[in-house]
Amino acid sequence: MRLQCFDLRVQKKWALLEMARPEKLNVIDQLMLFELEEVLTSLRLHKVKAVVLTGQGKAFAAGADVAAMAEMDSQSAQEFSALGNRIFQLMEDHPAVFIAAVNGYALGGGLELALACDLRMASSKAAFGQPEVNLGIIPGFGGTQRLPRLVGAAKAKEWIFTGRRFSAQEALEAGLVSKVLQPEELLEEACALAEELGWKSAPILSLAKQAVAASGTGIQETHGQREAALFGKCFATEDGPEGLQAFLEKRDPVFHDR
């Protein structure tokens, strides 16, 4: 398996999966999504029990590819959202336990990727956010569904409506991450946990994961479809394309509320 967007190292019972486009801040595009789907299949074949997911460079993942989205119409935007939702759901439904080691920026689609993991640890230098509203769009990879289930509706609405960034400490206090560690300790701690889980029973881990998901912490398929439809509608407004273009031009957007 030849990968352009990831580095995968399988350590018998567990694996380290790194997003490997640091020069692009590991932005999420269609290629990355399709490769992630391929990786998930490979991990099943290797019968891996736990996976540490992190990003190379100074970002975990700094969001979806804004340049690509700026070229989308309403239909293609909805399809892009549905693709991300589907593949992130494959990760949530995967028998392996996914541990997000958030080493830097986890913004937009990057935060949504971390949300689809089972466990999250953060570097003290990590920064989180769902800034989509500032670009004239909404989260489209499950953020409107998973974030409220993890931190509560009030906090999720605050973060989604304002689009502001929040710190690792704020993420810890909200229950989004379980630990905040020094940058040099993060990966070692996450890998140690993955190795510990590697000695557990594979079917029991999978059943435990399914049982927790049944409690309502995950995302329902119909809700993901609704999010994708609403995400697509953003691209049928005037403000959506304006926000994306303003981001690319490094200027403040001028919204006309239509």
Q: Show which residues are catalytic.
A: 112, 132
Quick check: 87 and 36 in contact, CB under 8 A?
A: yes
User: Distance (Å, rounded) from C-alpha 220 to C-alpha 159?
Assistant: 21
Alpha-carbon distances, residue 124 vs 17, 57, 174, 179, 250 (angstroms): 21, 15, 15, 9, 28
User: Distance (Å, rounded) from C-alpha 179 to C-alpha 175?
Assistant: 9
Q: 42 exposed, middle or buried (CB, 10 Å; 0-12, 13-18, 19+)?
A: middle
User: Distance (Å, rounded) from C-alpha 126 to C-alpha 254?
Assistant: 30
Contacts of 134 (CB under 8 A, 6+ apart): 163, 243, 247, 253
